[in-house]
Amino acid sequence: MREGIHPEYKDCVVTCSCGNVMHMRSTKASIKVNVCSLCHPFYTGQQQRILDTEGRVESFKKRYQRYNARMEQAKK
Ligand SMILES: [Zn+2]
């Protein structure tokens, strides 16, 4: 390895928002992640929870309801 051009590769603590702490190696001393293999729905098998802070899912459902109603009326 050429000297003076490589970043230092040190022990790293990775902290997840779920509280899980992992130790690995990185050029950074600590990394904060939002999701990890302990809490990601893909691994937990839980149904995905959608963080609906602005009511967007609700408004989408409402809009879709109106669309369905219109399609029902069009059939008649
Ligand atoms: Zn996690």
Q: Tell me the domains of the chain and their CATH numbers.
A: 10-75 (4.10.80.400)
Expressed in angstroms and rounded, the spacing between residue 10 Cα and the centre of ligand 1 is 22
User: If you measure from the C-alpha of residue 59 to the centroid of ligand 1, how many angstroms do you get, rounded to a whole number?
Assistant: 29
pLDDT at 40: 86
CA of 57 to the centre of ligand 1 (A): 24
Q: What is the pTM of this model?
A: 0.52
C-alpha distances out from residue 43 to 37, 51, 52, 73, Å:
6, 18, 22, 43
Average pLDDT on 56-73 reads 85
Encode pLDDT of 1-60 as tens digits: 888 999 999 999 999 999 999 999 999 999 999 999 988 888 887 766 666 667 777 888
Q: How far is the CA of 20 from the centre of ligand 1 (A)?
A: 5
